Structure 1
Amino acid sequence: MTDPTRLGVVLTDRGSKYAVSGAPARSREEVDAVLAVLKSDKSYAKATHNTWAAVLPSGALKADDGETGAAMVILRMMERAGLTDHVIVVTRWYGGKKLGGDRFRRVQDATRAYLDHLGLAV
């Protein structure tokens, strides 16, 4: 298992901060290992949400971690980009103001930054 690539905080919106990370993963165990490494960093462990999606040989997996619907946004973007055998994690530190539907746009922006980092277009 490789350590996750962390792009760090890629954007802020009304006090909320968003970071994106990802790593190759071919099984649920590898996804769990990536999440464990990420959460071994206290700032990620204390984040409000660590939403993730993975496209594995066995199928797609996702978890909202309290940010309802956000994992599906990540998953759809991964599928559109053709990214497989990988997990992407969008981390949010809540800034005190509700973002409403804009939270999905911020998840898209963070995921796009990671896909761009990999050289994949969405």
Structure 2
Amino acid sequence: MIQLEAVVSDRGSRYAVSGGAVVGRAGVDVFLRDLKRQKKYAKATHNTWAVILSEEGPVRHDDGESGAGAVILKMLEREGLTDCVVVVTRWYGGVHLGGDRFAHVVTCVRAFLEAWRKAG
């Protein structure tokens, strides 16, 4: 598991990104369960994620951050990265960010992809 904390901070909201290799939807569920065992991730406002599974195809979940899962998925498709779940976590700071939240998701996924390449 790769975890990058404090990737973006904007108007009180904080963003982190996590990800790692998974096998099937069951692997995604295990990854998410392990991530949320850390209290701060369990208490986060949103844990948005996406993955392209070899056998099952693309899967995404917005976790209340409408459209964010699609942004992550599109980036994974461009990268051609399969069987690797990417989770963008947001702790809401009390101010609506509008479209800036999508730019922050992109920044987080880019940071993850760079770390993934270096680790691989």
Tell whether the structures are fold-level matches, with TM greater than 0.5.
yes
| Matched residue, 1:94 | 92
| Matched residue, 1:23 | 20
Identity of aligned residues (%): 56
Separation in 2, partners of 1:5, 1:117? 8
Structure 1 stretches lacking a partner, 5+ long: none
- TM-score, with length taken from structure 2: 0.94
Structure with the larger helix share: 2
- Over residues 26-83 of structure 1, what are the superposed CA-to-partner deviations in whole Å (9 max), with x where a residue is unaligned? 2110000000000000000000000000110110100000000000000000110111
Give yes or no for the alignment of 1:49 onto 2:40.
no
| Aligned-pair CA distance for 1:119 | 2.3
| Aligned-pair CA distance for 1:7 | 1.2
Separation in 2, partners of 1:74, 1:104? 10
Separation in 1, partners of 2:33, 2:21? 14
Give yes or no for the alignment of 1:59 onto 2:57.
yes
- Over residues 75-118 of structure 1, what are the superposed CA-to-partner deviations in whole Å (9 max), with x where a residue is unaligned? 00011011111100000000110000000000000001001112
- TM-score, with length taken from structure 1: 0.93
Q: Which runs of 4+ in 1 moved over 6 A?
A: none
Structure 2 stretches lacking a partner, 5+ long: none
| Aligned-pair CA distance for 1:8 | 1.6
Between the two proteins, the alignment pairs up a number of residues equal to: 117
2:2–2:116 Cα contact (<8 Å) kept = no
Separation in 2, partners of 1:41, 1:15? 21
1:40 to 27, 37, 55: 37
